[in-house]
Chains A and B, each alone.
Chain A
Amino acid sequence: MIALAAVSKGYRTRNGVKVILRDADLVLPRGRSVALMGINGAGKSTLLRIFAGTERPDRGRVSRSARISWPLGSAGGFHGSLSGLENVRFIARIYGADVRQTIDFVADFAELGTYFDMPVRTYSSGMRARLAFGVSMAIDFECYLVDEITGVGDASFQSKCRAAFQERRSRADVIMVSHSPRTLKSYCQSAVLLQDGSLSFFDNIDDATAFYAKGLS
């Protein structure tokens, strides 16, 4: 479970403060996979980082009672000059996972072939995403924070991701940011709408998409 109590977050920009959250409250129950929705630049990725604990709120309190992943995106977390394998070794160590087992799992899951021993900076964004996804699957999280990575890779990799999530649905939830409504609906039952600094929770994702579509038109 993740709970936000009176959380505020803003960024100083050249044109004043950009507000992401203003005194926002939210309770995300266990056992629901949640889509994070909002217009471009509303702060969905920042919110995901606040859920993870990667970023601290300016004010308010965030509590977590599950093993939550780092925000899985194609961008961060990897050291470009180290190989995929060395990065996996690092991640396994900081999560206290078995290094050997994690490496074997990722080598099999991410299908990077010889690239697994090459510096991550030589990877395509799809390969980075596969690596990130592979490591996170090797470490048993109870909640996966996914930032736009399930859309990458070819069809066979996408169905592999879906199968991996399906397999652990009973013990792990997903909180997901994606621009594809189809992807969101195939993973999530519920949704959170981020709008003008406030959060609204929808138990049924269809209500959120309907509300969202109405708001945009």
Chain B
Amino acid sequence: MTPPPAHVVMARVVLAVLLRETRTRFGRYQFGYLWAFLEPLTHVAVFIAVFTALGRTSPIGNSLALFLITGVVPWLVFTHTVNRVAKAVDGNRALLMFPQVTRIDLMLARIILEAATASVVFVVLCLLVRLFETRFTIERPLDVIAVFACLIVLGAGTGIATGVISSVFPTFERLFAAIRRPLYFASGVFFIADNLPPEARAWIAYNPLAHLIEWLRSAFFVGFESSFVDHRYAVACSLVAVVFGLAAERAIRPAEKFA
């Protein structure tokens, strides 16, 4: 009996892990899949409360909710992808007992799940705004898709690298989590770069997430063009992250599946 071709085996494994992950990713919480929506909504609600208390309005467009959604969702997509991919192997070590299951399969399944969840959450939240708050049109929908693709690639690459590095230096995971927290405030989740003082803007220009969020907003909101966003830098960072992550995975982790 000849074994099925490698790509068929891989597709089977990734699909099986994906289906199982859907259960374990959301099954633990009481609201299950609903949590995927509740999390960004809490962020948005907190910022709406703060903005209202300070008497501020949205810097672009006329919907504060939409402005915040286009910042919070990409941020969460990035951090969740990093976190989930970095822990993909640890969380599923038992599965490596099956010869056809590889570490890349485990990571790929989580990347696909995060990408699918991100798309659904973003679309649903935008629809909610359109139905209950403001009618809007998206200026360049293809750019919006490109930004989300970059976010997933950047998150996946960073996640793979984090997983590999923390398998050698276990403290790295914590260190990176500590760096990520302030990054929330330097990524433009609740502001636009044009409103920052030039010194701050110069620093934030190194943050690919800030570029991706600005890019998303300039593609999303009719009439808003950011002078800050550098598309090439954002794409380059994403590609470098994924190439670095995969190379590190190959080079640093030994051939043994259990190491």
Contacts and interface: CB of A to CB of B under 8 A. Distances in A.
Interface string A41-80: 0000000000011111010000000111011000011111
B129 interface: no
Contacts of B255: 56, 58
A173 interface: no
B94 A90 contact: no
B95 interface: yes
Given A54-B96, A79-B94, A82-B23, A94 B101 contact: yes
B123 interface: no
A158 B177 CA distance: 50
B20 A90 contact: yes
A56 B28 CA distance: 35
Given A52-B99, A93-B15, A79 B20 contact: yes
A76 B13 contact: no
A68 B98 CA distance: 11
Contacts of B99: 52-54, 68, 70
Contact of A54 (B4, B92, B257): B257
Contacts of A93: 12, 15-16, 19
Contacts of B97: 54, 70-71, 76-77
A56 B20 contact: no
Contacts of B52: none
A60 to B, nearest CB: 12
A142 B258 CA distance: 25
Given A86-B20, A94-B13, A77 B98 contact: yes
Interface size class of A (residues with CB under 8 A): 20 to 34
Interface residues of B, number: 27
Contacts of B96: 54, 76
A90 B16 contact: yes
Interface in B89-133: 92, 94-101
Chain A CB count within 10 A is highest, among B12, B28, B98, B100, for B98
A82 B24 contact: yes
A10 to B, nearest CB: 10
A175 interface: no
B98 A54 contact: yes
A215 interface: no
B94 A78 contact: yes
A96 B98 CA distance: 13
Contacts of A91: 98
11 contacts: A54-B97, A71-B97, A77-B97, A78-B94, A81-B28, A82-B20, A86-B20, A90-B16, A93-B15, A93-B19, A94-B13
Interface of A: 52-56, 58, 66-68, 70-71, 76-82, 86, 90-91, 93-96, 142
